[in-house]
Amino acid sequence: MPRRIPDYPDAYAGWNLISSYGSLLSFFATIIFLILTIDLFVAKRPYLEVGTIGSFFGPNESSHTLEFILSNPPAFHSFNQLPY
């Protein structure tokens, strides 16, 4: 859009509407993010602790992955074949 024009022609009305909807979407997404972040710190729920009933991965399922089985850092050539 041209700058320093107080009234834009009707040709820019559609793009202005799309821009307005995009800014509203960004505003509401930011509000939802802030509400969820505040809830995360206030509620003190253990979201990702291994072995809890409310765990994201289920009870003790995440402790059986290669990330937790191998030492850190993993040894060079830990496997002859890649595990499934």
- The answer to whether the predicted template modeling score (pTM) of the entire model surpasses 0.85 is no
Mean pLDDT (whole number) for 38-48: 71
Neighbours of 50 (CB within 10 A): 15
Residues in CB range of 1: below 8 A, 6 or more apart: 8, 12, 15, 16
Rounded to an integer, what distance in angstroms lies between the CA atom of residue 28 and that of residue 16?
Answer: 19
Higher pLDDT, 47 or 81: 81
Rounded to an integer, what distance in angstroms lies between the CA atom of residue 22 and that of residue 38?
Answer: 24
Q: Which pLDDT belongs to residue 27?
A: 97
13: left (phi over 0), alpha (psi -120 to 50) or beta: alpha
Q: Which pLDDT belongs to residue 81?
A: 80
Higher pLDDT, 58 or 28: 28
